[in-house]
Amino acid sequence: MTLIKNVFLAGCTAGLLSACSGTLIQAERAAPATDPFAAALQTGYATLAREELAESDFGDAETFAARALAAASGKPPTPENFDTRKIPAKKLPALAEARTKLLAALDNGARISTPGQAANAQLAFDCWMQEQEENFQPSDIAACHDRFTAALRVIESKPLASAAPDRPRPKQTATLASLKTPMRPGLLATRFVIYFDLDTASLVPGSESEVTRAAAAARRSGAAMVWVTGHTDRSGSERHNMTLSRARAQEVVRALRRLGLPEIGVATQAYGEEKPLVQTKDGKVEARNRRVEIELSH
């Protein structure tokens, strides 16, 4: 049995390596993108992919290789979003603030006025995200963070390009009051709640209207960040409920994207049964606790 298992794992590893190598080779062999920003991303993401490949991190290598290939095709990706990685909750605020500043600089013309440094800032941010998700190499996390900070300082200090930004962002408005919380600076007062049936992560009929309202509010308010938090009641085990709350949050994020959420940061959190809206005994079914909360912040 052990031999069969080892052969199976070896086969999986070989398959991942082959898939990643194929994407990376395509990106490296592709003609350089004509746009300087995209060309710099193409080279930078390919380098990140090679570094992860050398560490046998095939998943991240494939991610970076695919981003390099997208840049080569003339469709440079935006900085990684928070729904693609499991970032420790305590680290999200700093990354969310950094992504907001990066997008503002890119959309204000840095892609044109300082394409190399703009690409360097995006690459360093994605590197920071990847290392922070792994969360076991402090020196690597610090290196990516410091590289990002230095590049961001450069692109924020340069005069804006005269060309219009290729990804216009909604203007900030003051129509919603702000709340000050440690975890979510600039939190907007409006909160949207999506309820779920027992032991399922599927949206119930009619709940998409609330998700649509949340996406529309994000556009109107000029929010820079969306926080999506999953919860359950106490009718299952703690481990099952944590998994279920995470699945519910991810389902709502997919619905937000589908229903018109603008290109802004998204962070998901899952608390399982830890933060019930209604206090109950363990094992108790309570519909009001089976929810996902959507909050917006500047």
Are residues 21 and 145 located together in one domain of the fold? yes
Q: Is the pLDDT of residue 183 over 90?
A: no
Q: Which residues form the domain of 229?
A: 178-297
Of 125, 157, 189, the position where a domain reaches its end is 157
CATH of the domain at 242: 3.30.1330.60
Do residue 265 and residue 142 come from a single domain?
A: no
pLDDT digits (tens, 9 = 90+) for 85-96: 888 888 988 998
- Would residue 163 count as lying in a domain? no
68 and 150 part of one domain: yes
Q: How many CB atoms lie within 10 A of CB 15?
A: 11
Domain boundary among 112, 128, 157: 157
Shared-domain flag, residues 136 and 66 = yes
Structural domain contains residue 149 = yes
242 within domain boundaries: yes
* pLDDT over 90, % of the chain: 45
- 207 lies in a domain? yes
CA 285 remoteness from chain centre: 32
Is residue 137 domain-resident?
yes
State which of 99, 128, 157 marks the end of a domain.
Answer: 157
Please tell me the predicted confidence (pLDDT) of residue 172: 30
Helix segments in the chain, DSSP class H: 2-29, 36-54, 58-72, 92-105, 111-113, 115-134, 138-157, 208-221, 238-258
Are 183 and 279 in a shared domain?
yes
Question: Is 79 among the domain residues?
Answer: yes
Do 76 and 143 fall within a single domain?
yes
Mean pLDDT of 233-238: 94
Same domain, yes or no: 21 and 140: yes
Same domain, yes or no, for 187 and 150? no
Residue 205 shares a structural domain with residue 107: no
Task: Let me know if residue 9 belongs to a domain.
Answer: no
Domain count, the chain: 2
185 pLDDT tier (thresholds 50, 70, 90): low
| Any domain includes 264 | yes
User: Do residues 150 and 240 share a domain?
Assistant: no
The pLDDT assigned to 164 comes to 37
Tell how strand 178-179 and strand 187-195 pair up. Answer: antiparallel
Residue 162 has pLDDT above 50, yes or no: no
Residues 251-295 pLDDT 10s: 999 999 998 898 888 989 999 999 999 999 999 999 999 999 999
Q: Is it the case that residue 12 has pLDDT exceeding 70?
A: no
The sheet with strand 178-179 has its strands ordered as: 178-179, 187-195, 291-297, 225-230, 265-270
DSSP string, 242-297: HHHHHHHHHHHHHHHHHTT--S-EEEEEE-TTSS-SS---TT---GGGSEEEEEEE
Which pLDDT tens digit goes with each residue over 22-47?
A: 788 887 888 888 888 988 898 899 89
Cα–Cα distance, 278 to 174 (Å, whole number)? 32
pLDDT digits (tens, 9 = 90+) for 118-153: 999 999 999 999 999 999 899 999 999 999 999 999
Q: 257 Cβ partners below 8 Å, 6+ apart? A: none
Whole-number pLDDT of residue 189: 67
Residues 21 and 144 reside in one and the same domain: yes
**Same domain? 151 vs 200:** no
